[in-house]
Amino acid sequence: MSRRNIQLDEQNKLRHFITVEGLKRQMLVDILDTAENFLGLGARKTKKVPLLRGKTVANLFFEPSTRTRSTFELAAQRLSADILSMDIKTSATSKGESLLDMLQNLEAMGVDMFVVRHGSSGAARFIAEHVAPHVSVINAGDGCHSHPTQGMLDMFTIRKEKGEFAPLTVAIVGDILHSRVARSQIHALTTLGVTEVRVVAPRTLIPADVATLGVHVHHEMESGIKNADVIIMLRLQKERMQGGFLPSEAEYFKRYGLSEARLKLAKPDVTVMHPGPINRGVEIASNVADGEHSVILQQVTNGIAIRMAVMSMTLGRPEIEMGEPK
């Protein structure tokens, strides 16, 4: 199979979910539509459907995570899968066992899906290239490369708030250089046909080739968010910074923080988003994060539905209908 199509099987159905890049618009819409079916499940008395009954999902988180790991676990539980969450720090890989040896041992235990978060870009793809044909891999974030389910839950949130993508101007503000989320958002927004995607950051936090992705680059916050329909604030990836990217956090907030005063430059019905975790007073003021325009908590809720959608599309049995288990 070609490098570009590793995510798809022979019938062009989703087998792995490594990156948004290269997937057609209809595939992204199918993910959003499938998530819509799962959104109300959390309000039911019984929160499970049998789509992945008999399947085993292994969470391999080589980096710490709270929201992503928790929502993947909840998504798998609600699909009735068995879950194996690995403590990588105490696993055999810390004792010298190779990653491929660990994967083969887990496959021998009957694992059907790996959810992988790793500090190295390309790690999820490497795993997908070496798993057995019946095993699926979902990228839960790899290095500075991609975080596709976060990108898609952000698209789902935007669609819930705005309806259509085509008329929108979306501003992504912050540490574009180190953000795997930003790359996934940009690919998804452009594929879904958003009118204008802006990236807003100091020059030190903008990739040199970002304009080739079809975005407009702004180095001033005021011009970047003016008349925006959606503003996505990004966390400063301080753990990935080496050197003088910023003078200080206080100076960063002064120039690029989202305050109530700056928010007035955007559309009156602007939607404010943040993939988390939030650094209050650094990227965003607390009264904006908790304000009427913020959908940050809705993003977390939507993350469960999106992850259920991706897991069911890669491993699920579509002949089983949705509904309360008997």
Which residues are annotated as catalytic?
67-68, 95, 117, 147
H-run or E-run covering 203: none
For 77, the token pair is 């539980």
- Give the type of residue at 275: P
Closest CA to 154 of 194, 126, 124, 195: 194
C-beta of residue 210 within 8 angstroms of C-beta of residue 199: yes
Q: Kindly state the DSSP code that residue 323 receives in the 8-state scheme.
A: S
Question: For the chain, what's the residue count?
Answer: 326
C-beta of residue 167 within 8 angstroms of C-beta of residue 195: yes
Q: How far apart are the first and last CA of the chain?
A: 41
- Give the type of residue at 250: A
What is the C-alpha separation between 154 and 275, in angstroms, rounded? 8
Return phi, psi of residue 256, to 5°. -130, 0
For 35, the token pair is 């998530």
For 265, the token pair is 């430059």
For residue 261, give every residue at least 6 positions away whose Cβ sits within 8 Å of its Cβ, in sequence order, or none: none
For residue 95, give every residue at least 6 positions away whose Cβ sits within 8 Å of its Cβ, in sequence order, or none: none
For residue 66, give every residue at least 6 positions away whose Cβ sits within 8 Å of its Cβ, in sequence order, or none: 277
